[in-house]
Amino acid sequence: MGKAIAFLYGLVCYLIFFVTFLYAIGFTGNFIVPKGIDSGVGGPFVLSIIINVALMGLFAVQHSVMARPGFKKWWTNYVPSPIERSTYVLLTSLALILLYYFWQPMTGTVWNITEPALRNVIWGIFAIGWGVVLLSTFMIGHFNLFGLEQVLFHLQGKRAPKPKFKEPGFYKLVRHPIMTGFIIAFWATPDMTMGHLLFAAVTTAYILIAIQFEERDLIALLGNAYVNYRKRVPALIPFIKGSGRS
């Protein structure tokens, strides 16, 4: 019974994540969803910056701190190991939901491209960015990354396999294609507002910092295989080996 409950919990966490992920596409693109990044009337400029940076900071702290091995070791004293990843995914989704809900629009125009063909090209790049993000997760194990595989193995009474070094698909070109996709998606817009610019700039800075911590953990986990991979393959930009490297 406990295993079945853990599996249902993991499934619910995954579904919440997936809806939150889809909402992020609409949020940054300002379409379909009830509230996009530029929805509403802008309030006081400085207050909007403070609120928005605080929301992004909350996400960054939750997302990075809970991903560290030391925190996981402590955290699993209270949260069973099979649902640790699902709980992390759930809390990340909740942090994003808070960001969507409380985000303050800053509608001052940075650039506005009106030529239809060029707008279509930029929206195509936006779609490519999100496509790279999603495809990259499947290349390294989508359901493991978001906790579903762990609860399924637990339900079957099996141990989840230990991570092994591999470099499939996009990972032959860059070490962090998920982050590359996010950066592309966040900056590719024909209608850049001050709020969107703040979001893109802060999230890009966070990505550049976060991958330094992630790579330190990957080296500790995978050893020389990852050290050699790091020497051969650039972090974020194909064919530029210094991109994103400390």
Q: Which ranges in 81-223 belong to alpha helices (H)? A: 84-102, 116-140, 142-145, 148-155, 177-187, 194-222
Residue-level pLDDT at 242: 55
> Is residue 215 assigned to a domain?
yes
| Confidence tier at 1 by pLDDT (50, 70, 90) | low
Give the whole-angstrom CA distance, residue 244 versus residue 211: 8
- For residue 215, CA distances in Å to 37, 106, 244 come to 31, 34, 11
How confident is the model over 52-75, as a mean pLDDT? 93
For the packed helices 194-222 and 224-232, what is the interaxial angle rounded to 10 degrees?
140
Q: What is the pLDDT of residues 165-199, one digit of tens each?
A: 889 999 999 999 999 999 999 999 999 999 999 99
> Is residue 105 assigned to a domain?
yes
> Is residue 165 assigned to a domain?
yes
Between 128 and 246, name the one with better pLDDT: 128
Q: What is the pLDDT of residues 199-217, one digit of tens each?
A: 999 999 999 999 999 999 9
> Is residue 87 assigned to a domain?
yes
The range of the structural domain enclosing residue 88 comes to 2-232
> Is residue 110 assigned to a domain?
yes
How confident is the model over 131-150, as a mean pLDDT? 94
**Global pTM value:** 0.91
Residue-level pLDDT at 42: 82
> Is residue 216 assigned to a domain?
yes
> Is residue 225 assigned to a domain?
yes
Percent over 90 (pLDDT), the chain: 84
By the 8 A CB rule, do 195 and 128 touch? Answer: no
Residue-level pLDDT at 160: 77
Q: What is the pLDDT of residues 107-127, one digit of tens each?
A: 999 999 999 999 999 999 999
The count of domains in the chain is 1
> Is residue 83 assigned to a domain?
yes
